[in-house]
């Protein structure tokens, strides 16, 4: 058991752990017969808190007058209740690396990170459409209707609640003789601390306390792994003791 835990913790410590995912996907629908488009679009959440809009490698369209990408609650960003969020920071570039000429091809996989500072509360279950809008003529270029959530960690990545990695933090880090765990959402949280050999050196019962303080006075200087568990979610953070 200890060996198994050590393998898991070392994987985290070495930054080799894959970010588990939950995603909703849909195929692009052509809005205007004059502008070809095809391929699949996704909104993807990861356990490290990242949220992205992704066009798969099969994506294909043609250049327009300043094409932008939005998340929307309706298939038209100008519709009532659409509440659109722009996920592009500039116009889509063609395969020639330019925004011209019009009707030149745009193909291949593209990723648009959702700015968590500007849009901190994007809900995977609320935005049902990815829309491409031609800003130059204020016309919908295409949209994708997102299906149900799918992925190995959709249970862990709650659709309606922020992920555990977003709601808990440890500080200061590095720490001297004491550090705190901040549990902003006041979920029922259990804390366990391990050394790099996999030995559990500190543990606490699950608590909804917003801030918990832990003494490191009896521990040697070095690297420790703090495991934070709340129901079916788990986050491991690296802590340095000076």
Same fold, 2-16+156-241 and 21-145: yes
Q: Cα separation of 146 and 43, whole Å?
A: 8
Where are the domains positioned within the chain? 2-16+156-241, 21-145
Q: CB–CB of 110/96 below 8 Å?
A: no
Question: 2-16+156-241 — its CATH code?
Answer: 2.60.40.3080
Radius of gyration of the chain (CA): 22
Closest CA to 181 of 225, 213, 217: 213
Q: How many CB atoms lie within 10 A of CB 21?
A: 19
- Which segments of 2-99 does DSSP mark as H helices, in order? 2-13
Q: What is the 3-state secondary structure (H, E, C) of 155-183?
A: CCCCCCCCCHHHHEEEECCCECCEEEEEE
**pLDDT digit string (tens) for the chain, length 242 residues:** 455 555 444 444 443 344 557 889 999 999 888 889 999 999 988 767 788 999 999 999 999 989 999 999 999 999 998 999 999 999 999 999 998 888 899 999 999 998 878 877 677 777 899 999 999 999 999 999 998 888 877 765 554 445 667 778 899 999 999 999 988 777 788 999 998 888 899 999 888 888 899 999 999 999 999 988 887 677 888 999 99
Annotation: CATH topology of 21-145 = Immunoglobulin-like (2.60.40)
Q: Cα separation of 28 and 144, whole Å?
A: 4
- Which segments of 116-215 does DSSP mark as H helices, in order? 164-167
């Amino acid at each position: 058991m200890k060996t198994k835990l050590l393998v898991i913790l070392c994987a985290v410590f070495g930054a080799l752990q894959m970010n588990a995912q939950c995603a909703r996907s849909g195929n692009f629908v052509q809005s205007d017969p004059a502008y070809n488009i095809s391929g699949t679009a996704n909104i993807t959440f990861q356990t490290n808190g990242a949220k992205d809009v992704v066009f798969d490698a099969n994506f294909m369209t043609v250049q327009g007058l300043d094409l932008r990408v939005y998340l929307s609650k309706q298939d038209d960003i100008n519709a009532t209740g659409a509440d659109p969020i722009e996920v592009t920071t500039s116009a889509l570039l063609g395969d020639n690396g330019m925004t011209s000429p019009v009707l030149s091809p745009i193909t291949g996989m593209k990723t648009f990170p959702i700015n968590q500072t500007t849009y901190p509360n994007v809900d995977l279950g609320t935005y049902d459409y990815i829309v491409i809008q031609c800003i130059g003529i204020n016309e919908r270029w295409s949209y994708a209707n997102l299906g149900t959530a799918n992925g190995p960690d959709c249970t862990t990545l709650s659709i309606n609640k922020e992920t555990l990695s977003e709601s808990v933090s440890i500080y200061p880090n590095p720490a001297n003789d004491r550090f705190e765990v901040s549990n902003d959402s006041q979920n029922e949280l259990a804390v366990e601390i391990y050394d790099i050999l996999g030995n559990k050196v500190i543990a606490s019962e699950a608590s909804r306390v917003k801030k918990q303080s832990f003494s490191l006075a009896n521990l040697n200087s070095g690297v420790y792994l703090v495991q934070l568990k709340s129901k079916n979610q788990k986050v491991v953070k690296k802590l340095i003791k000076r």
